[in-house]
Structure 1
Amino acid sequence: MSSPEIASLSWGHMKVKGCSTSYKDCKVWPGGSRAWDWRETGTDHYPGVQPADLEEVLRKGVQTLVIGRGMSEALQVPPSTLDYVKKQGVDVRVFQTEQAVTEYNALVGQGAKVGGVFHSTC
């Protein structure tokens, strides 16, 4: 099962190829995607992305996880979260969201088992 390409990104709006829903923030993995609702885990810009935000994507068997920190990189990614991902044996890459989508789509194009979490505003 392949990871879906991110079809478009603009401030506050993301589209995933093959999905009729648009997202503000989203999670993607081989075979699927859904909205990333920060309220589920109490996430905020600081302290940032928590392991609980990533567990669902990591359970999908990804080899690489791409994290988009927002258009202005306001969303933090603490070292403890990066350590958590690495301990799962998953390569993790963190970028400003436009760069993250470019990286993610390039990995999709290579047939990688890649997942991502993307913040599309600040």
Structure 2
Amino acid sequence: MMMNSKNISPKINSIEWGEISISEGQHYKDAKLYPGGSREWDWNETGTHHSPGIQPADIRELLEQGAEVVVLSKGFNERLKTSQQAETFLKQHAVPYHILQTEAAVAKYNKLRETKPAGALIHSTC
């Protein structure tokens, strides 16, 4: 597929405890990244907590924005879980996904975004 600016996902320039820096100049504590943009990932919108973890509603927006592969971070210390419902949701939609420790998730996402419309949920603390 030919990549154009509408389906290119923004690059994560850097990640450190409590701050994610995006190529477009934004800084977030937790970030939703998707083809064509990014925004703060506000857990209160979907009732996300460390356990049971990431919810299907957190992922739905990434798919609605055109993500064809999804990267989910577990936090620096891997405290953020991914709910079974979220994994089932991804499988039902036949979306390839990766659940990784935050720094590994950032590396994976940055590599994937070079060749396909990628989405990510990045947690910058625990």
TM-score range, shorter chain: over 0.9
- Is 2:40 aligned against 1:35? yes
- Is 2:11 aligned against 1:5? yes
Unaligned runs of 5+ in 1: none
Tell me how far apart the structure 1 counterparts of residues 91 and 34 of structure 2 sit (CA, whole Å): 17
The code of the aligned residue for 1:114 comes to A
Tell me how far apart the structure 2 counterparts of residues 40 and 103 of structure 1 sit (CA, whole Å): 26
Q: RMSD of aligned C-alpha atoms?
A: 0.9
The code of the aligned residue for 1:88 comes to H
* Aligned partner of residue 113 in structure 2, secondary structure: helix
Q: Displacement, 1:57?
A: 0.7
Which one of 80, 104, 119 corresponds to residue 115 of structure 1?
A: 119
How many corresponding residue pairs? 120
Q: Displacement, 1:90?
A: 0.9
- Is 2:35 aligned against 1:55? no
Tell me how far apart the structure 1 counterparts of residues 49 and 101 of structure 2 sit (CA, whole Å): 16
Structure 1's consecutive aligned runs of 4 or more residues displaced over 3 angstroms after TM superposition are none
* Aligned partner of residue 66 in structure 1, secondary structure: strand
Q: Deviations over 1:65-98 (max 9, x none)?
A: 0001100010011222111012112111100000
TM-score (normalizing by structure 2)? 0.91
More displaced 10-residue stretch of structure 1: 82-91 or 67-76: 82-91
Tell me how far apart the structure 2 counterparts of residues 90 and 102 of structure 1 sit (CA, whole Å): 19
Unaligned runs of 5+ in 2: 1-6
| Residue matched to 1:69 | 74
The code of the aligned residue for 1:5 comes to K
Q: Deviations over 1:6-39 (max 9, x none)?
A: 0110000001111x32100000001100000001
